[in-house]
A and B are shown apart, each in its own frame.
Chain A
Amino acid sequence: QVQLQQSGPGLVKPSQTLSLTCAISGDSVSSNIVAWNWIRQSPSRGLEWLGRTYYRSKWYNDYAIFVKSRITINPDTSKNQFSLQLNSVTPEDTAVYYCVRGVDSSLDYWGQGTLVTVSS
């Protein structure tokens, strides 16, 4: 059974960097048949796919255009986890952030979600 455990601060100041980590159990971040995604949810914008990292003989990343200049998703093979960094945050980045496993063009296992509030 795949489980995703998220960690990271729930409060970030404007202009600073949002950082979250997703620890994987029951699968490998280096699997060559899945992808590891970050998705966020807010009342105003609903569910938004932010980006993903995946391994296919080498590491790849895909990012949503609206955050591409500010986002980094990195795998950590030593800890079997992956991370999200979102720079220069504003109050509009306030949302619940989820890490999610992607397989065969769908999303199956979700983390528990982390409410991140951007406020001074």
Chain B
Amino acid sequence: DVVMTQSPLSLPVTLGQPASISCRSSQSLVYSDGNTHLSWFQQRPGQSPRRLIYKVSNRDSGVPDRFSGSGSGTDFTLRISRVEAEDVGVYYCMQATHWPWTFGQGTKVEIK
């Protein structure tokens, strides 16, 4: 199985400051059709995961533009340009290029 490794696992941030989460895969996530199936999810306390980003950098409808995704191959990043209180939660990356689909272990974002 493809192993997804996130860092850091815990990320204390100051309100209004940027935050960055790394996700690395054990194999390239470029599919045979040229697409890279890497998604990011946010899980607020007590809620189900919510997708923020798909195919590396495509933001879902309703997701604030302070969230952005980037990367290629095996190295990906989720950035929050200015953290707000509602951004507290755990963030996961997921690959859907190789079977079975696998998730990172999660990065907990909290306010300092």
Show the binding face of A for B, using Cβ within 8 Å.
46-49, 62, 64-65, 98, 104-108, 110-113
Contact = CB atoms under 8 A, between A and B. Distances in A.
A106 B92 contact: no
B51 interface: yes
Contacts, number: 46
Interface of B: 31, 35, 37, 39, 41, 48-51, 54-55, 60, 92, 94, 96-97, 99-103, 105-106
Nearest to A102: B96
A52 B15 CA distance: 39
Main secondary structure of the interface of B (DSSP, over half): loop
A106 B100 contact: no
Contacts of B102: 49
A105 B48 contact: no
A8 B93 CA distance: 28
Contact of B39 (A106, A111, A113): A106
